[in-house]
Structure 1
Amino acid sequence: MIGIIGAMEEEVSQLIEAMEEKEKVTCAGMDFYCGKLKDKEVVIVQSGIGKVNMALCTQILADRFDVKAVINTGVAGGLYKDIEIGDIVISKDAVQHDVDATVFGYKVGEIPRMDTSYFEADKDLIELAKKTCDEVNPDIHSYVGRVVSGDQFISDNKKKHYLINEFDGYCAEMEGAAMAQAAHLNQIPFIILRAISDKADQEAAGSYEEFEKAAIKHIVRLVLGILDRM
């Protein structure tokens, strides 16, 4: 069983509609749709926005559905200089940029008393996602890089450049690293896929509304392509 998580309805609705033999299981206020997609056994769920929702959702996938891999799909703000709206970031790893225990000698982003704070995506899934994206989305570019997550919508240049300089972030969003941490603790392979809907700057809110649908079209095509090739 493969778990597929999106924070918002629009990030998973097209995938749920394409499922076959699906049934719904509700847990912790989330609807988990189990069935087949591209002849693969999958469970697709809308987690809700933010790190707590995402971590809880991932743990339910581990405990109740015994998933063997997790794909987190959605949109994000672009950070890396060459990334354009509509392009896709495939996670090399993920970190929570809003974790700050520096008063105790930790670096910003480091989670106290954990073995790591930079959670690495599965190398086979990275390779598959990159190859697939180049094939199914030839009209855009895809990049393998770091996803930085926090309970903040990034919409100013000062914070954007901080995330680039401090974390070498390729995109910023609000859930991925929480899924990555939960998957890491449960020893579940994962990948985070993010279509760029804005540039995480002063124009971010307006750009997001305008370009979200186009970004989701690319990410849905990628997820379906990955499942088709697994």
Structure 2
Amino acid sequence: MKIKRIGILGAMPEEINGIVLLLENKQEIVKGMRTYYIGTINEIEVVVVFSRWGKVASATTVTHLIVEFNITQLYFIGVAGAISQELNIGDIVIANSLVQHDMDARPIMRQFEIPLLSKTFLYPPSKIYKDAYSSIKELETSGQFLDVISIQNQEKFLISNPRVFVGQVASGDKFFSNTSDKNLLLNLLPDVLCVEMEGAAVAQVCFEYDIPFVVIRTISDAANETSPVDFKEFIVEVALKYGIEIIRKLIK
């Protein structure tokens, strides 16, 4: 019987810094330009690491977690740009499907289809993302997300009522920073809620190795011309604090 060992990926180094502080019996292992933090949270073994940016880097990192550290499931937290007009900065999206929006091997196969897998969308096991939704929804209803953000930062980032959504996440090696690109993506993939640069690649690796996973994203921007504004400050003042609360809630 495999020992339960949870991998935790962060899309930004600042995000994992907070989670590392939760570790007991912490050890550090450096491999492949990455620092893996090993320890326990609530007596459960975990390995925490910064994924590095983009599909290749994140796929490499999660493969290492699976092969070298023998994780049995994965939580991937990070930030994303809103595509759906329903989303506001500070909302949370839990992926129930993921797609690589820059995968295009036409005319050999359909746009977005992953070569050799004959799949366009990848899905986390329903139990893990539904359990994650239930736990994170409790943080929303209790007002805990707002509790960890200062009034000043709530006002600065226009966060008044953070909500938890479940839906489709699109990944690709592109930072969305203009409205035309955003609208083009919506025309092609109308169900996408948000975009980021790693989740669908991580999902592909987990699918191929049969590792349960869930991708959880905090909306940091509107994926338009305002996207770069105060991005780093948002990570430190909002996403990092969300991440700590989410991991505390999930690992118990």
Aligned-partner SS, 2:68: helix
Identify if the C-alpha distance between structure 1 residues 47 and 209 changes in structure 2 by more than 3 Å, giving closer, same or farther.
closer
How many Å separate the matches in 1 of 2:130 and 2:91? Answer: 17
| Distance in 2 separating the partners of 1:137 and 1:217 | 14
Distance in 1, matches of 2:232 and 2:30, equals 29
Residue deviations 1:78-108 (CA, integer Å, cap 9, x gap): 112211100000010111101111232x232
Q: TM-score, normalised by structure 2?
A: 0.86
Quick one: which amino acid aligns to residue 219 of structure 1? Answer: G
What does residue 201 of structure 1 align with? 224
**C-alpha distance after superposition, 1:152-202 (max 9, x if no partner):** 111111111222232221110011111100000000000000000001011
Unpaired stretches in structure 1, ≥5 consecutive residues = none
Residue of structure 1 in register with 2:200 after alignment: 177
1:18 aligns with 2:22: yes
Greater mean alpha carbon deviation, residues 115-124 or residues 85-94: 115-124
Structure 1 range deviating more: 115-124 or 65-74: 115-124
How far did residue 136 of structure 1 move?
A: 1.6
2:241 to 217, 222, 227: 217
User: Paired residue for 2:183?
Assistant: 161
- The match for 2:154 is none
Answer whether contact 1:198 1:207 (CA < 8 A) is retained. no
Q: Of 70, 76, 80, which aligns to 1:72?
A: 76
Cα 1:218–1:30 shift into 2, 3 Å: same
SS of the equivalent of 1:67 reads coil
Cα deviation, residue 146, structure 1: 0.9
Q: Which amino acid aligns with 1:177?
A: A
Give how far 1:215 is off.
3.1
Deviation at 1:111, TM superposition (A): 1.7
Return the alpha-carbon distance in structure 2 between the equivalents of residues 22 and 219 of structure 1: 19
Aligned-partner Cα distance in 2 for 1:169–1:118: 11
> Residue 248 of structure 2 aligns to a residue in which SS?
helix
Q: Bigger shift: 10-19 or 134-143? A: 134-143
**Higher Cα Rg: structure 1 or 2?**
2
Alpha-carbon distance in 2 for matches of 1:68, 1:102: 35
Letter in 2 for 1:156: N
Shift of 1:77: 0.4
The 1:207–1:162 alpha-carbon spacing in structure 2 relative to 1, beyond 3 Å, is farther
Counting aligned pairs with the same residue, the percent is 34
Alignment gaps of 5+ in structure 2: 144-161
Amino acid in the other structure paired with 1:131: S
Summarize the Cα distance change of 1:141–1:42 in structure 2 as closer, same or farther, 3 Å threshold.
same
Runs of 4+ deviating beyond 4 Å: none
Say whether 1:150 aligns with 2:172: yes
Q: TM-score by structure 1 length?
A: 0.94
- The answer as to whether partners of 2:25 and 2:39 remain within 8 angstroms in 1 is yes
CA distance in 2, matches of 1:220, 1:177: 23
Pairing 1:109–2:84 present: no
Counterpart Cα distance in 2 of 1:38 and 1:179: 25
- The answer to whether the 8 Å contact 2:94/2:215 transfers is yes
